[in-house]
Homo-oligomer: A and B are copies of this chain.
């Protein structure tokens, strides 16, 4: 059923080396031979066996997209799918072999074991996201520099590691600034993400920068990116503040529902720009990330790393959008 290079060679009346050379566009092949081989390839519908070719040529790169699944499904599915699609689309264009690894699959491995596992799979580069500062295993992997790594959403760069993300600090600053009216704002409740998250800290910097500029009082509470926690914290602290700034859309939805429940009006904004906002976050502002583009860029950046260039920081644009009240069915 499967055609091998040998059969192509026989059909074309040449050696297998010649066939391989034609397919890899080597120079020293006469046009006549080229045509003969190409004809045979077409007729037999030959596609090189990727396993054999990977084994043979040591230099072929394979990249893994490390997919981080946690318990916060609802918001994260869309983001994960966008990362997946963006990465696969770009990898496809660039003829880069991309595979997925789920965190559960490798959760019980040590760094050492993970390294061996990746190497055994022929993986030379890995794209990670959702990293936090306690993720020792991955951080050590990055530290050791045995693999090329592209980190989404963490400012980690070394010779073999690049960082791709929006400017989270500026994003948080921008969206908060858009809803805060300096003259009427005395106190702001900021619902931050997970403690020790890189993203969490960058966004906190953003709101703090704005605080310094505008001089309001700031109450920072860690809500772990959880809708429920955001709801509870809003219940507890919102009556005391003018504005609730949330580090994620899901938290903003929780906060909004708490505000509705308490029957008080407060300005409120989210972060990410997920589709759920169209259903449950109407009227709010958010900082939209283009996740598809981010992971596409991560692949591009990976290509750069794999070509031997040193790691760098890549910043993707963000966008402040408002979730319109108007009828969504127009």
Within 8 A of B (CB), among A99-158: 99-100, 102, 104-105, 112-113, 115-117, 119-122, 146
Q: Does A242 contact B (CB under 8 A)?
A: no
Within 8 A of B (CB), among A238-277: 253-254, 257-258, 261, 275-276
Cβ contacts under 8 Å, A122 to chain B: 49-51
Q: Does A73 contact B (CB under 8 A)?
A: yes
Cβ contacts under 8 Å, A328 to chain B: 257
Please give the number of chain A residues whose Cβ is less than 8 angstroms from any Cβ of chain B in the complex. 57
A275-B73, A329-B228, A329-B254 are known contacts. Are A104 and B120 too (CB-CB below 8 A)? no
Q: Tell me if A120 and B49 are in contact (CB < 8 A).
A: yes
Q: Does A173 contact B (CB under 8 A)?
A: no
Cβ contacts under 8 Å, A88 to chain B: 100, 102, 104-105
Cβ contacts under 8 Å, A276 to chain B: 74, 276, 279
Q: Tell me if B49 and A1 are in contact (CB < 8 A).
A: no
Nearest residue (CB) in B for A113 is B45
A329 to B261, CA, bound (A): 11
Q: Does A15 contact B (CB under 8 A)?
A: no
Q: Tell me if B47 and A119 are in contact (CB < 8 A).
A: yes
Contact of A85 among B1, B102, B257 (CB under 8 A): B102
A-B contact pairs, 26 of them (CB 8 A): A46-B116, A47-B116, A47-B117, A47-B119, A50-B120, A50-B121, A51-B54, A51-B55, A51-B121, A73-B81, A74-B78, A74-B276, A77-B77, A77-B80, A77-B81, A81-B81, A84-B100, A85-B102, A88-B100, A88-B102, A100-B100, A227-B329, A228-B329, A254-B329, A258-B329, A279-B280
